[in-house]
Structure 1
């Protein structure tokens, strides 16, 4: 991809679909590249949510070993809900409050 980034003088391929359109044509390039990108994105999102939910569950089990057992599904839903809220912030400066809260919680 690095070598193909600027293989055509005056044209930069910053996105995979642009490279696909150059390689396979204007319409066919999109039909080849976009479904593959979508499959990879959905797969990564699923793994991300499950891993985050498992981490929350592990933290809960460590903090409250005798507490009520909660299903992994609920932790995945909690993680995805927090992720959904944070993803709608306009930029990283908006999460400075989250960073401050994390810094305060890390003090012991």
Structure 2
């Protein structure tokens, strides 16, 4: 796997362990059937963690903001919060779910 893609998957997904998110039963469930919008506190924590981790690998400013926002938007379009938690649980040092690689690849291509 391309090193940049792997770094970006790690930045956007591992930066914010969803298992540490507020309990799914405690989060708002007022999203529409067509939207997987995550509760505001989860979305903000994801973005904050993503930006912090991006900076650690030398990416900051507008590129980091654009990538992290894209990662969040793509995740919300594709997965419920419960599905994203399940995907996160499948991440291993030598294996990242292809769905997450696809999001990273999409968001990286948007930066170019």
Instruction: Tell me the TM-score normalised to structure 2 length.
Output: 0.35
Structure of greater Rg = 1
Q: Which structure would you say has the larger RCO, counting Cα contacts within 8 Å and 6 or more residues apart?
A: 2
Instruction: Tell me the TM-score normalised to structure 1 length.
Output: 0.36
Structure having the higher helix fraction is: 1
